[in-house]
Amino acid sequence: MAWQGRQHHLLRGGKKVCIQCDSEAGAGAVTRGACHCHDTGGLPHLHEGPHLFPSPHPRDPIRQSCPARERISSTVKGIIEERRKADCCKKDDFLNVLLSTDELSDEEKVSFVLDSLLGGYETTSLMISMVVYFLGQSAQDLDLVKREHQGIRSTKAKEECLSSEDYKKMEYTQHVINEALRCGNIVKFVHRKALKDVRYKEYLIPSGWKVLPVFSAVHLNPSLHGNAQQFQPCRWEGPSQGTSKKFTPFGGGTRLCPGSELAKVEAAFFLHHLVLNFRWKIDGDDIPMAYPYVEFPRGLPIEIEPICSES
Ligand code: HEM
């Protein structure tokens, strides 16, 4: 995304960056289709649909969601056909792995691609917005992140791309990302069903009951996280702090988010370029609100200004 001009809606821009990265990571060829679906409003409509109650109103978003799914499915089908015709079987990407299996029908393969794109579409852009929002309120943390990225950049040529080794050095950035996930609670709860009677402490959860584990209740519990209401990235310092049952922004068990590492890499690399090249301030008031999904009501408008390299 080119940062031209001074005013940007971070959430909107972030979605485009994320859809490009996710689809590149999955299968380069899907990028073109995915970006088209973003630009024409298909992905936003598709994402909205399952979260809303149907209404008889002619502009009911669910009426737009179903055709959006059909449009995007046919774009992905076209890309799969192109991939089959072209001799690009040597490509070692997600789409080729998916195409090489006979255990799924074509429809299931298309659905798999769509689910993966949707899984990372709102979530990662929201996480990036959260990071920018919280850093905007903590000059000290912003300074620490900036120094970390200046250190990494100083070992590289001017336009040299970041590598996995650079990513491993982004320790404080990881703490900031973890803390934004803890405070931001992008996914507040997941849906589960008890398959048999389950006893937990003095409770009985009868077979067939729906259970919604609420992550935000754990992430903001002061008995598990000291000063739970405060944004304090330094709490993540120390070995294996980021993986524990008291911190589950990406779920857990067999349904653990397969995109968690990709999302964190996207956020860290985005931050690298943002803090080294720009100053920003949030334009007016905007705060993350949950209704029930977390959003910035105004899309987090920010004013940015390039940092001159001489300064
Ligand atoms: C900050 C970013 C993200 C957050 C907070 C997040 C969170 C989650 C959570 C909590 C689940 C578990 C849902 C459950 O247990 O029912 C999940 C599943 C999933 N996520 Fe993510 N996710 C993120 C990014 C991504 C990305 C970038 C992708 C793909 C490119 C992705 C793809 C998926 C898929 C396909 C599933 C379903 C896995 C399954 O059911 O087996 N997610 N995600």
Whether the complex's predicted ipTM is more than 0.90 is answered with yes
Which residues of the chain fall below pLDDT 70?
Answer: 1-7, 11-56, 58-65, 87-92, 239-243, 309-311
CA of 56 to the centre of ligand 1 (A): 31
With respect to residue 32, please indicate whether it lies within any of the assigned structural domains. yes
With respect to residue 195, please indicate whether it lies within any of the assigned structural domains. no
- pLDDT tens, position by position, 130-147: 999 999 999 999 999 999
- Domain hosting 227: range is 7-185+220-240+261-306
Give me the number of domains the chain comprises: 1
User: What pLDDT sits at residue 273?
Assistant: 94
Rg of the chain in Å (alpha carbons): 21
Which atom of ligand 1 approaches the CA of 25 most closely?
30
User: What pLDDT sits at residue 128?
Assistant: 94
User: What pLDDT sits at residue 311?
Assistant: 44
User: What pLDDT sits at residue 113?
Assistant: 84
With respect to residue 174, please indicate whether it lies within any of the assigned structural domains. yes
* pTM for the model: 0.84
Whole-number Å distance between alpha carbons of 137 and 111: 40
**Are residues 117 and 19 in contact, defined by beta-carbon separation less than 8 angstroms?**
yes
Ligand 1: list residues with CB < 6 Å.
Answer: 22, 115-116, 119-120, 123-124, 127, 186-187, 190, 249-251, 255, 257-259, 262-263
User: What pLDDT sits at residue 68?
Assistant: 74
CA of 122 to the centre of ligand 1 (A): 11
With respect to residue 191, please indicate whether it lies within any of the assigned structural domains. no
Query: Which residue has its alpha carbon closest to ligand 1 atom 32?
Result: 119
Q: Among 257, 262, 294, say which to mutate for ligand 1: greatest number of ligand atoms within 8 Å of CB.
A: 257
With respect to residue 180, please indicate whether it lies within any of the assigned structural domains. yes
Here the CATH number for the domain that contains residue 108 is: 1.10.630.10
With respect to residue 202, please indicate whether it lies within any of the assigned structural domains. no
Whole-number Å distance between alpha carbons of 16 and 122: 10
In the chain, the largest separation of any two C-alpha atoms, in whole Å, equals 66
With respect to residue 299, please indicate whether it lies within any of the assigned structural domains. yes
